[in-house]
């Protein structure tokens, strides 16, 4: 599912699973999908980061740098990410 436009050529997409929404970046020109290998629910307003939550054993909140998929933050037993909190 589309989650947010990151720039003119890229869309943050979510691949739904039983434990949460796995993030990916879709290049609309080349039609290539790059998986982020972590959860994604929303993108930051500048399109540089993604926040997501999910997990099988415990609910975790994660923030990823979209450019390279690097996890910059993870907190276990968290819920419900939102940028305006």
- Using the predicted structure, report yes or no on whether residue 72 has a pLDDT greater than 80: yes
Q: Is the pLDDT of residue 80 over 80?
A: no
Kindly tell me if the per-residue pLDDT of 77 is higher than 90. Answer: no
Contact 21, 36 (CB under 8 A): no
Sorted by sequence, the CB contacts under 8 Å of residue 78 that are 6+ apart come out as 53, 59, 60, 61
Q: Which helix (H) or strand (E) holds 3?
A: strand 2-5
pLDDT classification of 82: cutoffs 50, 70, 90: low
Instruction: Give the residue carrying structure tokens 């039609």.
Output: 31
């Amino acid at each position: 599912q589309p989650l947010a436009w990151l720039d003119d050529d890229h869309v943050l997409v979510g691949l739904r699973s039983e434990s949460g929404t796995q993030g990916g970046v879709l290049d609309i020109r080349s039609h290539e999908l790059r998986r982020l290998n972590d959860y994604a629910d929303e993108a930051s307003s500048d399109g540089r980061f993604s926040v997501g939550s999910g997990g099988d054993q415990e609910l975790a909140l994660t923030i990823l740098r979209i450019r390279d998929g690097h996890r910059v933050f993870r907190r276990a037993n968290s819920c419900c990410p939102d940028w305006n909190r």
